[in-house]
Structure 1
Amino acid sequence: MVAKSRAHSFNSVAAQYEASRPSYPAALFDVVEEFLGRALTGVRVADVGAGTGIATALLRERGADVIAVEPGEAMAVEFHRVLPEVPVVRGDGNALPLADASHDLVTYAQSWQWTDTGRSVPEALRVLRPGGALAIWWNTTAFDVPWLGAQHERIARHCAVPPRPSVRPDDREAIRLAGLTGLRVVRRQIRWQRTVSLETHLANIGSRSAFLVLDQAANRAFFDEERRRLREVFPAEAVEETYVVDLLVAGRP
């Protein structure tokens, strides 16, 4: 129940999520194309847990034919505002509202952890055409950057959650997927950066589910203190965020 509450908490900040969340580097899609053995132009893609369409837009820029699957009502509304020409259907990865063998690629950008993999893996394989691929990825924080590592520890204390691993998925997930699909699994970690305003950086953090389920007065106090700390590191209020995209691509027989 807690996980479900966190999964749907994004609906309360759909516009904030769209405005502040980071995108993804081009190299990520280069790896997916290399795995498929073809450009994404014309490839039929189901982007599951699409949110406000951050990954969907990039897939379309590569020429992919994309349909989005999104469980959250407010997120789907924001998606339609941003990408009105892209179909978005309500549903989640545990029961995809898509036909058998209908897509070449099924993607999960920041959303795989909200599924029950005992159901979502078979569903992805059902929807994929022979030779298709399942691609899951996360933007993870580069904790070797000192200020980011220190901030991560403060966030973990505030949200009363254990600090998460610096990379996701871990090797056990790769091994498990390889066993399920019977084919190769490729994993890549791609480092990249973006520079945003201090307020955008704080809005990005505030759009995380761990914050959204907490008392908002306590959150405001946390962000007031975080703003003060970051102004010491970035006096011009231009924050350089460093990410490592952790990507896993698995083939369908």
Structure 2
Amino acid sequence: MTADPRARSFDTAAAQYASARPSYPPALLDAVEELSGRRLVGARVADVGAGTGIATALLCARGAEVIAVEPGAAMARQCREALPGVPVVLGDGNALPLVGSSFDLVTYAQSWQWTHPAQSVPEALRVLRPAGALAIWWNTTAFDVPWIRAQRERIARATRGTAPAPATRPGDEDAVRLAGLTGLRVARRQLRWSRTVSLDVHLGNIGSRSAFLLLDEGRRRAFFAAERAVLRAAFPDEVVEETYVVDLLVALRP
């Protein structure tokens, strides 16, 4: 999707990504249907930057006809193994290997930031049918949960050596601008949800982020040893509730 080494780093931890990364709540796909103006049953969907198929599986379960597009060979293999009935093609979100005007919906789950919107927006519009929609979303930080906010600060210091940016969420206009969707008809929805996982799964989730995948081994080991100790003190049963806010943007083809 990009030459950025952070985007390519996920191939080195595809199995970890598949086992530890969170999925998305059912309400998310309800919102995609509402904001796009069409049901997923029978819809032809291109899931771009599909990774190991986390969102792809949800779209299929809703009755969509899905093709997964993924630039990483190892991630694509994980997706094929998890979803043997789904076509998976190696491809770049900035130059989609797809026929024009052939999809009702193009989705980017947790992957839009790895594209260049000046290229990826026209590409999405090119492959969409009339009245089609582009849907992009992310699991984002629940800033109001104290332990999650504190962990965010520790991660920033470990990976960047500095405190993180202020814990704020952009307003609708800024979110659309930052996504490169200015000029399109865009609707936004934010959905709060949580999952309960073991401490090991939680740490595996954190460790599958690009910032840690590119960190040298010594610093990575030191961070996770210290982080495990902090979290064991906070969660002595080693069961962690992760809270997210899914940030969804749906843009309609003009």
Question: Structure 2 length normalisation: TM-score?
Answer: 0.94
Gaps of 5+ in 2: none
Corresponding residue of 1:140? 140
Map 1:45-194; keep pairs closer than 5 Å.
45-160=45-160, 163=164, 167=169, 171-175=173-177, 176-179=180-183, 181=184, 184-194=185-195
Deviations 1:31-90 (A, max 9, x none): 111123232000000000000000000000100000000000100111111111100111
Corresponding residue of 1:12? 12
Tell me, yes or no, if structure 1 residue 210 matches structure 2 residue 230: no
Cα 1:130–1:93 shift into 2, 3 Å: same
Q: CA RMSD in A?
A: 1.7
Aligned length: 249
Q: Taking every aligned residue pair, what percent have the same amino acid on both sides? A: 67
Answer with 29-38 or 170-179: which moved more.
170-179
Separation in structure 1 between the aligned mates of residue 110 and residue 221 of structure 2, nearest angstrom: 25
Amino acid at match of 1:33: E
Q: By how many angstroms is 1:169 displaced?
A: 8.9
Q: By how many angstroms is 1:171 displaced?
A: 3.0
Cα 1:142–1:87 shift into 2, 3 Å: same
- SS of structure 2 residue aligned to 1:185: strand
Conserved? CA contact 1:56–1:66, under 8 Å = yes
Amino acid at match of 1:112: W
Tell me, yes or no, if structure 1 residue 246 matches structure 2 residue 250: no
Conserved? CA contact 2:15–2:78, under 8 Å = yes
Q: By how many angstroms is 1:218 displaced?
A: 1.1
- SS of structure 2 residue aligned to 1:163: coil
Conserved? CA contact 1:141–1:166, under 8 Å = no
Conserved? CA contact 2:172–2:188, under 8 Å = no
Separation in structure 2 between the aligned mates of residue 99 and residue 51 of structure 1, nearest angstrom: 21
Amino acid at match of 2:195: R
Deviations 1:66-122 (A, max 9, x none): 000000010011111111110011111100000010000000000000001000000
Cα 1:95–1:162 shift into 2, 3 Å: farther
Cα 1:4–1:162 shift into 2, 3 Å: farther
- SS of structure 2 residue aligned to 1:222: helix
Question: Structure 1 length normalisation: TM-score?
Answer: 0.94
Tell me, yes or no, if structure 1 residue 35 matches structure 2 residue 32: no
- SS of structure 2 residue aligned to 1:108: strand
- SS of structure 2 residue aligned to 1:191: strand
Separation in structure 2 between the aligned mates of residue 12 and residue 169 of structure 1, nearest angstrom: 35
Separation in structure 1 between the aligned mates of residue 212 and residue 3 of structure 2, nearest angstrom: 13
Separation in structure 1 between the aligned mates of residue 121 and residue 19 of structure 2, nearest angstrom: 31
Answer with 19-28 or 153-162: which moved more.
153-162
Tell me, yes or no, if structure 1 residue 23 matches structure 2 residue 23: yes
Conserved? CA contact 1:102–1:129, under 8 Å = yes
Amino acid at match of 1:149: R
Separation in structure 2 between the aligned mates of residue 87 and residue 158 of structure 1, nearest angstrom: 38
Cα 1:167–1:17 shift into 2, 3 Å: farther
